[in-house]
Amino acid sequence: MEVNISDLTWDQFIYPRGGKSDKTINAYVEALETGAQFPPIKIQRVFNYADGNDTTEAIIILDGVHRSSAFKEKGIKKIEAVEWKDKPLDYEKNKTTLLLESAECNTRHGDRLSPGDKKRVARDIASTDPECKWTEEALAEKLGVSQQTVNTWISDIRARQKTSRNTVILRLSRLGWPQEKIAETTGITRGRIAQIVNNTNFGEINTLLAQGRDMEYIARHYSMDLPLVWTLRLEGKTDQEKFKELGWGLRTWDQWNFNECDERFGDDWPGRIPAQLIAHTLFYFTKPGDPVLDPMAGGGVVSDVCLLFERKCQSFDLAVRDNRPEILCHHWDPRNWKWPITKKPDLIFFDPPYYIKKEKEYEEKANDNTPSISSYTKEEYERFLEGFFLLAHKNAKPTTSMAFLNADWRDFESTPASKEKPDKSITIFDYHRLLSEAGWEVTHRIECPLSSERLSGNQVQRIQDKRILGTVGRTLLIAKRA
């Protein structure tokens, strides 16, 4: 068959060499001038091909980039071609297969692939194949090298992928995910999941600590997240012993002052709360093995602390990230309330945005279809909380506790204290009322003040001059299902 050269696409992703060779193209042009005949190029029709901003169909060159370039330079508009498959392929689903076919063609004739080109192809494929669908044996056959050579090229990539995969599986398993769900999430069989959970050994952690290595080094050594390293190190210790090992003083009274967040747990996130606050809540109101629900997970600090203190945890949020496989996407939609879990929790740790306090930051992580509740009016915000409290009450156990963290919101930044209007504020008394009306009985009020150091000296002077009464209050309400 003949194809128009103008219809052909040179796809650099599936081209196994570093680039075209001008020397080869010039040699082919000279050969054409003497009447040389060339074998057909190999092509493949594809669809679902991204071309700039459009998704289109294309004809990809698998073999013969230099020949087609020489024909084009010579002014020849058509070229003989054979198609690899007799029907169009989905480009996105077959990118690796197309690359390997192109590489195999280029190991047999013309400017044969150099060892460097073959190594690059093998590493590119391995990097995008964390489930190891392409074995070393299969890659070796396609690239025309020994299996040992391929293993040497990609062993470091496979080792990192294996460790990363295993740590994800361990994290999810320890947070209470069933093996069927882990298998579905990771693409690994349930039997293999069971092997990894039962046989993975990180006993070298204590040896590395004895050598003077710190926890950050150990996390890098195992390609593991820091909270999981701490979890493995403190495994088997009591809650009190874990507080001591982490350097957290265990508060005995109902005032928990934590000036800073512990950077070891949770991601940098708007409205991030201290891991110590969550740990104290777990200590007093749950026991190891209890299931915890985090309906607005944010930076994942609740799941990190649950992991550390051996509580199970189900987490949901509008914004999900690759580094947080335990956080599932869920929109708490007041127009269509849905409860996303079947296992009833012993504790619901609910830390919603404090009215409009972080409106700008949260809006960046939302969209028109799933708006942040920080964009709600006061009436909408209260109705949302009322609806959530009712939904949670309906789906909770008789013994379920609700830990609700929030703060007074007043327009204190621009209004003198004597002129503040109640209809412009929402306070902890309003939250107490909403909980009670939804069937929750408040049993504890724990003060968890914010740090006053978040305000600069100039800001403090300005609000003093205007007789503005600032707020550093933050309250944790513990409620039982009445």
What angle in degrees, to the nearest 10, is found between the helix axes of 91-105 and 136-143?
50
pLDDT at 255 over 80: yes
Residues 310-338, mean pLDDT to the nearest whole number: 91
pLDDT at 113 over 90: no
Percent of the chain with pLDDT over 90: 49
Compute and round to an integer the Cα radius of gyration of the chain.
30
Do 402 and 395 touch, CB atoms closer than 8 A?
no
Looking at residue 368, its pLDDT comes to: 63
Looking at residue 391, its pLDDT comes to: 97
Ranges of each domain in the chain: 2-113, 234-481
The mean-pLDDT minimum among 277-281, 299-303, 372-376 falls in: 372-376
Higher-pLDDT residue of 384 and 198 is: 384
Average pLDDT, the chain: 88
pLDDT at 160 over 80: no
Looking at residue 114, its pLDDT comes to: 80
CATH architecture, range 2-113: Alpha-Beta Complex (3.90)
Looking only at the bridges linking them, the beta strands covering 8-9 and 401-406 are unpaired
- Reported as a single tens digit per residue, the pLDDT across 71-91 is 999 999 999 999 999 999 999
pLDDT at 7 over 90: yes
Under the banding of pLDDT at 50, 70 and 90, the label for residue 55 is: low
Looking at residue 305, its pLDDT comes to: 98
pTM (2 decimals)? 0.70
Looking at residue 12, its pLDDT comes to: 83
Q: Chain centroid to CA 7: how far?
A: 39
Under the banding of pLDDT at 50, 70 and 90, the label for residue 163 is: low
pLDDT at 13 over 70: yes
Under the banding of pLDDT at 50, 70 and 90, the label for residue 462 is: confident
Phi-psi region of 271 (alpha: psi -120 to 50; beta: other; left: phi over 0): left
Under the banding of pLDDT at 50, 70 and 90, the label for residue 165 is: confident
Closest-CA residue to 404 (of 354, 350, 447, 450): 350
- Alpha carbon distances (Å) from 26 to 12, 226, 395, 397: 20, 56, 74, 78
Looking at residue 367, its pLDDT comes to: 63
Higher-pLDDT residue of 306 and 375 is: 306
Looking at residue 320, its pLDDT comes to: 82
Do 293 and 348 touch, CB atoms closer than 8 A?
yes
The hierarchical CATH code for the domain 234-481 is 3.40.50.150
Structure tokens at 382: 């209260």
Under the banding of pLDDT at 50, 70 and 90, the label for residue 470 is: confident
Looking at residue 111, its pLDDT comes to: 63
Percent of the chain with pLDDT over 70: 91
Looking at residue 312, its pLDDT comes to: 97
Looking at residue 413, its pLDDT comes to: 61
Looking at residue 269, its pLDDT comes to: 84
Residues 407-425, mean pLDDT to the nearest whole number: 80
- Reported as a single tens digit per residue, the pLDDT across 363-407 is 666 566 677 787 888 899 999 999 999 999 999 999 999 999 999
Under the banding of pLDDT at 50, 70 and 90, the label for residue 357 is: low
The mean-pLDDT minimum among 54-63, 157-166, 246-255, 296-305 falls in: 157-166
Residues 96-110, mean pLDDT to the nearest whole number: 82
